[in-house]
Amino acid sequence: MTWSDAQQYCREKYTDLATFESVDDIKRLKPHFSYTWAWIGLKDDPKSWKGVMGNDTNSWRWSATSKTSKTGYNNWKGGDPNSGGGKENCVIMGSTGGWHDVSCQSLRSFVCYTGKKRSEFMDSTYWLKLKLSLFVGISNRFQTGFKTYVTHYTDLAMIENAQEQADLLSAVMSIGIVWIGLYRVPWRWSDKSSSSFRNWLSSKPDNYGGSQNCASEDSNHLWDDASCGDKLPFFCHGKINV
Ligand SMILES: [Ca+2]
Ligand SMILES: [Ca+2]
């Protein structure tokens, strides 16, 4: 079945497509099934992130609020966001103002948000990693010239309309490419589980061909992303349907 058909079947007959919370969950599955690949309940919904600033699970969020955009304003350019290789979940603004999704691990300069002061920050591992790379970035490359922004630091820049976009672009024109505070958390479980357990094959997910938004596992229970329309056997919660 396709991923969506499998999800519907599992929801009717069982609880949902399979969710895994630990290696123990996986060990409970017996090895040696006869499939090559089977669907599990993990999805990276392209409707939620392909340029849409909506309110769905995988949508883009502003760091300053940890929420999706209030206005829906965006300035994506050049075919982005494309999740390049399944690894691009943070956003830079290019020297002409266009937004592009890139790997959160890149070292870049950044732009801070000088609006209403907030003390809340994302506490996900994702965001901590991003913050770490930002501070490495500033210590290596921005000893001078950038302190003005840091003084009023409350969070990374948030841009919710064309005027804010224009203001920011003129402020950082001489710097070139900068981080803005837009990020997303990829991959959510069909049953809305908050499990952060992942068991990807090495170098996966790779979003091969730019359209792999559903997760499958091999007979060793290692995961790869695949096109949701592929017809594969699947796992429901607590039961195995092969
Ligand atoms: Ca990209
Ligand atoms: Ca793949």
How many whole angstroms separate alpha carbon 5 and alpha carbon 228?
10
- Note the pLDDT of residue 110: 67
| Contacting residues for 146 by C-beta, under 8 A, at least 6 apart | 109, 138, 175
Alpha-carbon 235 to chain mean position: 24
Give me the residues paired with residue 215 across strands.
225
Greatest Cα-to-Cα distance within the chain, rounded to the nearest angstrom: 62
What is the average pLDDT across 202-206? 95
**Cα–Cα distance between 103 and 62 in angstroms, integer?**
16
Centroid of ligand 2 to alpha carbon of 229 (angstroms)? 13
Q: What angle do CA 58, 62, 68 make, to 5 degrees?
A: 50
pLDDT grade, residue 41 (50/70/90)? very high
* pLDDT value of position 132: 39
Q: Ligand 1 centroid to 84 CA: how many Å? A: 5
Q: Which of 9-18, 114-123, 163-172 has the lowest mean pLDDT?
A: 114-123
Are 168 and 111 contacting, i.e. CB atoms less than 8 angstroms apart? Answer: yes
pLDDT band at 125 (very low <50, low <70, confident <90, very high): very low
Instruction: Report how far residue 238's alpha carbon sits from residue 216's, in angstroms, rounded to the nearest whole number.
Output: 17
For residues 174 and 139, the model is more confident at: 174
Q: How far is the CA of 79 from the centre of ligand 2 (A)?
A: 20
**Pairwise CA distance, residues 107 & 53, whole Å:** 25
Q: Whose atoms come closest to the Cα of 230: which ligand? A: 2
Calpha distance 193→31 (Å, rounded): 24
Is the pLDDT confidence value at 34 over 80?
A: no
Name residues whose C-beta falls within 8 Å of residue 225's C-beta, 6 or more positions apart in sequence: 44, 86, 204, 205, 206, 207, 208, 212, 213, 214, 215, 216
pLDDT in tens, 135-173: 333 333 333 333 333 333 456 677 888 988 887 787 777
**Helix, strand, coil percentages in the chain from 3-state DSSP, rounded to 5:** 25, 20, 55
Domains, the chain, in order of start with CATH, read 3-44+191-241 (3.10.100.10), 53-183 (no CATH)
Ligand nearest to the CA of 211: 2
Residue 214: pLDDT over 80: yes
- What's the average model confidence in pLDDT over 208-227? 94
* pLDDT value of position 150: 38
State in Å: Cα 223 to ligand 2 middle: 9
Average pLDDT, the chain: 78
Residue 110 alpha carbon to ligand 2 centre in Å: 31
Of 17-21, 83-87, 107-111, 122-126, minimum mean pLDDT range: 122-126
